[in-house]
Amino acid sequence: MVPTLSGRIQTRLFLLAVIGWPLTMLVTPLLPLAGPMPDRYRATLVVLAAVAVLGVGWELLYHLLMQWRWEKDWPTLFGLVTLLPEGLLVWLLGSRAMLPGLTAPLDLAAFAIHFVLVWLATWLVANGPMRVVYVRWRFRGGRLL
């Protein structure tokens, strides 16, 4: 899929909701987190929300960067390695408890496992299975609406 700006944003939000959220619900109890279950869920869901909200900003930046590419495409690899700056930003904010809704700073190991799992799952789905279900999606720059 070669994205348009609105397609990028829609795809991100959709995949975080449909893949990222259930995955988060499943893995949170298994993460190396201390504290009562509601607090643990709070920590992981805040991270998920941060990836979604900050992600809109990131998508604007990616869209701008894409303009320097003749093909106006976004290689598969870019979709994977953008994990690093995005993860870093969420971590910097989360480890200082600067994400709204967080009651305590994030734990590094739990954050890293959760973030990478969600990222890989959404990236994998975006690179194949997504078009099996939404057959028009790849021809509309990733737009679902």
**8 A C-beta contact, residue 101 and residue 42:** yes
Size of the site for other proteins (CB under 8 A): 29
Kindly state whether residue 34 participates in binding other proteins, applying the rule CB under 8 A. Answer: no
Is 141 a residue that touches other proteins (CB under 8 A)?
Answer: yes
> Minimal CA–CA distance to 126: which of 55, 26, 41, 47?
55
Does 145 contact other proteins by CB under 8 A? no
For 56-94, give one letter per residue: b (16+ CB within 10 A) or e. eebbeebbeebeeeeeeebeeeebeebeeebbeebbebb
Of 52, 80, 83, 97, the residue at the interface with other proteins (CB under 8 A) is: 80
- Near other proteins by CB under 8 A: residue from 76, 84, 100, 109: 76
Task: Answer yes or no whether residue 1 interacts with other proteins by CB under 8 A.
Answer: yes
- Binding status of residue 134 toward other proteins by CB under 8 A: yes
Site membership for other proteins, residue 138 (CB under 8 A): yes
| Alpha carbon distances (Å) from 138 to 16, 31, 44, 134 | 18, 34, 30, 8
**Residue 110 or residue 130: which is nearer to other proteins going by CB?**
130
Shortest gap between Cβ of 64 and other proteins (angstroms)?
A: 10
- Do 54 and 86 meet the contact criterion of CB atoms below 8 Å apart? yes
Q: Under the rule (CB under 8 A), what is the footprint of other proteins?
A: 1-5, 66-68, 70-73, 75-78, 80, 128-129, 131-136, 138-141
